[in-house]
């Protein structure tokens, strides 16, 4: 869910910390130049520069104008722990922001879907629901079925703008669903609970009860957010 640019900078951070600080360089040693690091890692100099600036802000290296970058601390494990916490926090904030977007989009979409869903729409949603009943170890099948379930609900709204928004955000939706399922299914009992939540949502749409459908979707996303916030603490405060 993070941007390609941010991901590239994070990869450079990990490589610098692992390959240089841990294995080769000690406090006071000079790092290779931006040009050399960019060539070594196969990335742009901008990505290398961004990574070095983060290390400097962490007081891990010192950047001397016109003189290169020097190691200030060489405790690689501490460095990697700090970087991991930064990356996880950034990614998780984006997950929570995406859940806010999903709540706004899907709560409205399901209300419309309960009023407008055709027989074909209901069949698509039901098939996705049935696929969600796969064994817990069929991780990717479950993720895709869950994603399709939600996308079919948006499609059943027959609102072209909502549908376009969902399609534009499909990769981000997939990541929030994957993260949610990974977190929820640490407790195996939640696997059946998750299926039943989706089953209730389907029944509400099929019965044409837009108020109940809307309430169930909002409760579902709110519950997911609460569970994730509890799981990610104390790394992330939401």
Domain 4-74 in this protein, CATH class: mainly alpha
Domain 4-74 and domain 88-232 have a common topology: no
pTM for the model? 0.63
Six-digit token string for 189: 């009992």
| 136-157 confidence digits (pLDDT tens) | 889 899 999 999 999 999 999 9
Tokens 């294995």 belong to which residue?
23
Whole-number Å distance between alpha carbons of 30 and 51: 16
Q: Which CATH number fits domain 88-232: 1.20.120.530, 3.40.640.10, 3.40.190.10, 1.20.1050.10?
A: 1.20.120.530
pLDDT in tens, the chain (238 residues): 445 555 666 677 767 766 665 556 677 888 888 899 888 888 888 888 888 887 887 777 889 888 888 888 655 555 555 555 554 455 566 788 889 999 999 999 999 999 999 999 999 999 999 999 999 889 899 999 999 999 999 999 999 999 999 999 998 899 889 888 988 888 888 899 999 999 999 999 999 999 999 999 999 999 988 888 776 543 334 3
Rounded to the nearest angstrom, the gap between the alpha carbon of residue 134 and the centroid of all alpha carbons in its chain is 23
Ranges of each domain in the chain = 4-74, 88-232
Supply the pLDDT for residue 233.
44
Q: What are phi and psi of 231, to 5 degrees?
A: -70, -40
């Amino acid at each position: 869910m993070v941007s390609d640019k941010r991901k590239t900078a994070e990869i450079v951070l990990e490589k610098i910390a692992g390959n240089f600080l841990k294995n080769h360089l000690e406090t006071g040693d000079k790092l290779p130049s931006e040009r050399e690091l960019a060539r070594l890692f196969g990335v742009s100099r901008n990505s290398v520069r961004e990574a070095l600036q983060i290390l400097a802000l962490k007081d891990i290296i010192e950047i001397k104008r016109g003189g290169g970058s020097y190691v200030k601390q060489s405790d690689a494990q501490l460095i990697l722990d700090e970087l991991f916490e930064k990356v996880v926090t950034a990614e998780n904030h984006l997950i929570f922001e995406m859940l806010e977007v999903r709540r706004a989009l899907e709560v409205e979409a399901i209300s419309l879907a309960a009023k407008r869903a055709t027989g074909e729409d209901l069949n698509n949603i039901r098939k996705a629901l049935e696929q969600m009943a796969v064994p817990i170890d069929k991780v990717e099948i479950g993720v895709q079925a869950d994603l399709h379930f939600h996308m079919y609900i948006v499609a059943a709204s027959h609102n072209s703008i909502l549908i376009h928004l969902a399609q534009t955000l499909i990769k981000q939706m997939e990541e929030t669903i994957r993260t949610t399922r990974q977190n929820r299914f640490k407790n195996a009992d939640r696997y059946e609970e998750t299926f039943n939540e989706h089953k209730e949502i389907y029944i509400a749409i099929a019965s044409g009860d837009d108020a109940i459908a809307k309430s169930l979707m909002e409760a579902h996303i709110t519950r997911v957010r609460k569970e994730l916030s509890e799981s990610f603490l104390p790394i992330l405060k939401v």
